[in-house]
Amino acid sequence: MVTGLPLVLLRSEGVALLAMAAVLYGRHAWSWWLFVALLPAPDLGLLGSLWSRRAGAVAYDLTHTYVGPAALGAVGLLASSGLAVALALVWFAHIGMDRALGLGLQYPDGSGRTHLRGTRRGWRDPGSGGALWSG
| Confidence (pTM) | 0.82
Q: What is the pLDDT of residue 132?
A: 47
DSSP for 53-112 reads: HHHHHHHHHHTSSSHHHHHHHHHHHHTT-HHHHHHHHHHHHHHHHHHHTT--PBPTTSS-
Contact 17, 24 (CB under 8 A): no
CB atoms within 10 A of CB 30: 18
Number of domains present in the structure of the chain: 1
Does residue 83 form part of some domain? yes
Tens digit of pLDDT for each residue in 77-112?
A: 999 999 999 999 999 999 999 999 988 888 888 667
How far is the CA of 64 from the CAs of 30, 59, 92, 105, in angstroms?
Answer: 23, 9, 9, 7
The answer as to whether 66 is a domain residue is yes
21 occurs within a structural domain? yes
Which of 75-100 are b and which e, b meaning 16 or more Cβ less than 10 Å from the residue's Cβ?
A: ebeeeeeeebbbbbbbbbbbbbbbbb
- Is the confidence at residue 133, as pLDDT, over 50? no
Portion of the chain with pLDDT greater than 90, in percent:
55
Closest of 84, 94, 40 to residue 64, by C-alpha: 94
pLDDT at 131 exceeding the cut of 70 = no
Task: Note the pLDDT tens digit of each residue in 67-83.
Answer: 999 999 999 999 999 99
What pLDDT is recorded for position 120?
55
Structural domain includes residue 135: no
Task: Give the mean pLDDT of the chain.
Answer: 85
The domain of 61 spans 4-33+52-127
- Residue 41 domain-assigned? no
